[in-house]
């Protein structure tokens, strides 16, 4: 709607025919120019530009604005974002179902229908830095092999 109204204001057009294609049909809607439109959204535009200016010192925000925007990248990022949202929804559903099973099983646990619920007690980690005999000992020699992996996350401007 913003594109249509701004386009009509810039060209002086009184009315626009908005055409939308769907797999089943073409839809046509006539949209009249609303002369008060720009004034009505001016506060939102001012807020947007103020937020934009405030975020220009944030390197992650600027990178998101200046990053890739080609069709392949957009498709891949949209697929990632949808999968992340689907995964979050599935995680929430799984957590809810898990809690319901734990409540149903009670402290003694239970099993049936291919699911088993039981309490597991895990010992805490050892804080090696708190052991006096290890003060000053280089523990790096005991570290495992280095590995490389990638992280993918949504950024502020997404």
Q: For the whole prediction, is pTM greater than 0.85?
A: no
- Cα–Cα nearest to 63, from 126, 147, 156: 156
Q: Tell whether 113 is covered by a domain.
A: yes
* Cβ neighbours around 46 below 10 Å, total: 10
Find the domain containing 106 and state its range.
70-123
Q: Tell whether 30 is covered by a domain.
A: no
Residue range 14-33: mean pLDDT, rounded:
91
* Cβ neighbours around 5 below 10 Å, total: 19
Percent of the chain clearing pLDDT 70 (strictly above): 94
Q: Tell whether 63 is covered by a domain.
A: no
DSSP 77-107: HHHHHHHHHHHHHHHHHHHHHHHHHHHHH-T
More confident residue, 152 or 89: 89
Q: Tell whether 88 is covered by a domain.
A: yes
Q: Tell whether 64 is covered by a domain.
A: no
Q: Tell whether 54 is covered by a domain.
A: no
Q: Tell whether 81 is covered by a domain.
A: yes
Express each pLDDT in 99-149 by its tens digit. Answer: 898 988 888 888 888 889 888 888 887 788 788 888 888 878 887 888 876
Distances (CA, A) of 93 to 83, 86, 98, 118, 158: 15, 11, 9, 20, 25
More confident residue, 142 or 32: 32
Total domain count, the chain? 1
3-state percent helix, strand, coil for the chain, nearest multiple of 5:
50, 15, 35
Q: Tell whether 114 is covered by a domain.
A: yes
């Amino acid at each position: 709607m913003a594109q249509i109204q701004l386009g009509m204001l810039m060209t002086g057009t009184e009315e626009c025919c908005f055409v939308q294609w769907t797999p089943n049909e073409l839809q046509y809607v006539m949209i009249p120019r609303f002369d008060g439109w720009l004034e009505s959204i001016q506060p939102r535009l001012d807020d947007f530009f103020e937020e934009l200016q405030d975020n220009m010192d944030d390197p992650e925000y600027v990178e998101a604005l200046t990053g890739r925007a080609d069709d392949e990248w957009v498709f891949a990022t949209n697929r990632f974002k949808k999968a992340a949202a689907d995964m979050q929804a599935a995680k929430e559903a799984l957590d809810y179902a898990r809690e319901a099973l734990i409540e149903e099983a009670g402290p003694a646990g239970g099993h049936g229908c291919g699911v088993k619920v039981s309490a597991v007690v895990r010992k805490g980690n050892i804080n090696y830095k708190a052991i006096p005999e290890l003060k000053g000992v280089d523990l790096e020699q005991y570290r495992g092999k280095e590995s490389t992996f990638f992280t993918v996350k949504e950024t502020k401007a997404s």
